[in-house]
Amino acid sequence: MNIAVIGCGYVGLVSGTCLAALGHQVTGVDVNTQRVAALQAGKVPIYEPGLSEMILQQTAARRLTFTTDLPAAVREAQVIFVAVGTPPSPNGGYDLSMLFGAVEKIIQSAQSSKTIVIKSTVPPGTGEKVAQLAAQSNHRLEVVNNPEFLREGTAIRDFMNPDRIVFGASTADGLAVLREIYQPLIDRGFNILSMGRASAELSKFGANAMLAMRISFINELSRLASAVGADIESVRMGIGSDPRIGPAFLKAGIGYGGSCFPKDVAALLHQMESLKIEPHLLAGVEKANQQQRQHFVGRVLEAVAGIKQPEIALWGLAFKPDTDDIRESPAVDIARLLATAGCKVRAFDPEAMDNTQRVLGSTISYTTDIISATTGADAVVVATDWPIFITQNWHTIKQVMRGTHIFDGRNCLASGKVGAAGLHYHAVGRPPISPGGGREGTVGVVVAG
């Protein structure tokens, strides 16, 4: 099938490349001329494991091309995926201007019947509004919804091996087009869930809000764990081994971030309030998320109190490992909070330095490796659980530091090894470990976690 994908960001690039790998003829379209020029030159503007190689394969096979010429791409295509950004708006809802801007151009450019697939995450009811606009065209423009559940860092694997593929359509024709596109994955036995457009839209929001809620729940519980001397990692296993609950998304830490959870929770709240539905549960999810990072920073500042201009090594800036995405990253907020409190922050992240520098500028300093960030530091703050941080030699870290405090904001380090190197280990919702100390029951938790 000939497909145009409008928007070459994390979702559009991954979806378009994977659709090409499934055998379709794909044209990626973006308004960002630099981005398109880079892609045409074989350079991939985002970091996503395996994506560069796959783009090169698909462009070499002439199944994938890039352009800024939306009208031409739309004219050629039978199906147009819309994967543009839907950022938060200042009032707490979604800013859908890019989506409707793209849709209007698609409608103006279409010279025959087409299917418009909304891939962007949109509030329930948006597909219907797009369909009303599309109905004004002289050509039949079917509008379907196909929300994307991929996760940055594992995006290609998620797209090619989905838990479920959600089809939202109001006609059998719309469903048939989606089935044809995804036939190679249907043949491999992956789950298709067909439903109405609003249900598909709400499924995406509901999934993200549920995951965010689990994180805020365990984070709230981690505060109680600290107060009563419990270890939240043991508690997580105690809770998560119930098959009705499961252990995923129950890891305490500095909270969630990224381009999806914060804005989806806010938009759901906004929509419920505008419909006079009281969002009792959701109202606390983002509040708890924000408090978690503030509380964590408070603990770091307490540990370095009394030092004139404390030096902090910040390990990690991306909102999670295996991405360069810093949108709503708790690590970036933590950098800001520490700098505002008078700390000298030296940061290192394997992929997210350039993006952070564009946002934070000279508020903090940037280093080329972990040791440069850590040399002379009074405390290390682990804000992203990149594997490279987990495998550090703690004796070396101890030697180059000025102080002895290690703050593990992701509960990802081997606490015993940190303590054995003569360092203070502070985690989230876990009893602290003093230099030379160990932790009772750690092995059981580590094995299960």
Ligand X SMILES: NC(=O)c1ccc[n+]([C@@H]2O[C@H](COP(=O)([O-])OP(=O)(O)OC[C@H]3O[C@@H](n4cnc5c(N)ncnc54)[C@H](O)[C@@H]3O)[C@@H](O)[C@H]2O)c1
Q: Which is nearer to ligand X, 220 or 324 (CB)?
A: 324
Asked if 11 interacts with ligand X (CB under 6 A), we say yes
Q: Which is nearer to ligand X, 158 or 180 (CB)?
A: 158
Q: Which is nearer to ligand X, 58 or 121 (CB)?
A: 121
Mark whether 260 is an active-site residue: yes
Q: Which is nearer to ligand X, 85 or 279 (CB)?
A: 85
For residue 196, the Cα-to-chain-centroid distance in whole angstroms is 26
Q: Which is nearer to ligand X, 131 or 260 (CB)?
A: 260
Q: Which amino acid is at 254?
A: I
Size of the site for ligand X (CB under 6 A): 27
What is the C-alpha separation between 287 and 212, in angstroms, rounded? 11
Catalytic residue among 8, 18, 260, 343: 260
Q: Which residue is nearest to ligand X (CB)?
A: 9
Asked if 5 interacts with ligand X (CB under 6 A), we say no
What is the C-alpha separation between 290 and 376, in angstroms, rounded? 29
Q: Which segment (47-55, 95-103, 164-172, 225-233) binds ligand X by CB under 6 A?
A: 95-103
380 beta partners = 313, 406
Q: Which segment (80-88, 298-306, 391-399, 429-437) binds ligand X by CB under 6 A?
A: 80-88
Least distance in angstroms from the C-beta of 120 to ligand X = 3
Least distance in angstroms from the C-beta of 323 to ligand X = 8
Three-state SS string over the chain comes to CEEEEECCCHHHHHHHHHHHHCCCEEEEECCCHHHHHHHHCCCCCCCCCCHHHHHHHHHHCCCEEEECCHHHHHHHCCEEEECCCCCECCCCCECCHHHHHHHHHHHHHCCCCEEEEECCCCCCCHHHHHHHHHCCCCCCEEEEECCCCCCCCCHHHHHHCCCCEEEECCCHHHHHHHHHHHHHHHHCCCCEEEECHHHHHHHHHHHHHHHHHHHHHHHHHHHHHHHHCCCHHHHHHHHHCCCCCCCCCCCCCCCCCCCCHHHHHHHHHHHHHHCCCCCHHHHHHHHHHHHHHHHHHHHHHHHCCCCCCCEEEEECCCCCCCCCCCCCCHHHHHHHHHHHCCCEEEEECCCCHHHHHHHHHHHCEECCCHHHHHCCCCEEEECCCCHHHHCCCHHHHHHHCCCCEEEECCCCCCHHHHHHCCCEEECCCCCCECCCCCCCCHHHHHHHC
Out of 20, 22, 26, 29, which residue is the one contacting ligand X (CB under 6 A)?
29
Asked if 84 interacts with ligand X (CB under 6 A), we say yes
Out of 35, 236, 293, 410, which residue is the one contacting ligand X (CB under 6 A)?
35
For residue 6, the Cα-to-chain-centroid distance in whole angstroms is 20
Asked if 222 interacts with ligand X (CB under 6 A), we say no
Least distance in angstroms from the C-beta of 196 to ligand X = 20
Least distance in angstroms from the C-beta of 123 to ligand X = 10
Tokens of 439: 């932790």
Asked if 166 interacts with ligand X (CB under 6 A), we say no
Asked if 85 interacts with ligand X (CB under 6 A), we say yes
Asked if 432 interacts with ligand X (CB under 6 A), we say no
Q: Which is nearer to ligand X, 31 or 186 (CB)?
A: 31
Tokens of 242: 């119930």
Measured in residues, the chain has a length of 449
Q: Which segment (3-11, 51-59, 281-289, 427-435) binds ligand X by CB under 6 A?
A: 3-11
Binding to ligand X (CB under 6 A): which residues in 176-205?
none
Least distance in angstroms from the C-beta of 119 to ligand X = 6
What is the C-alpha separation between 29 and 152, in angstroms, rounded? 20
Q: Which is nearer to ligand X, 109 or 120 (CB)?
A: 120
Asked if 411 interacts with ligand X (CB under 6 A), we say no
Q: Which is nearer to ligand X, 48 or 408 (CB)?
A: 48
Q: Which is nearer to ligand X, 4 or 232 (CB)?
A: 4
Binding to ligand X (CB under 6 A): which residues in 98-117?
98, 101-102
Cβ–Cβ under 8 Å, residues 425 and 436:
no
Q: Which segment (27-35, 297-305, 347-355, 435-443) binds ligand X by CB under 6 A?
A: 27-35
Nearest residue to 59 (alpha-carbon basis) of 40, 35, 44 = 40
Q: Which segment (137-145, 147-155, 358-366, 385-393) binds ligand X by CB under 6 A?
A: 147-155
Least distance in angstroms from the C-beta of 208 to ligand X = 8
Residues binding ligand X (CB under 6 A): 6-12, 29-32, 35, 70, 83-86, 98, 101-102, 120-121, 148, 150, 152, 259-260
Active site residues: 260
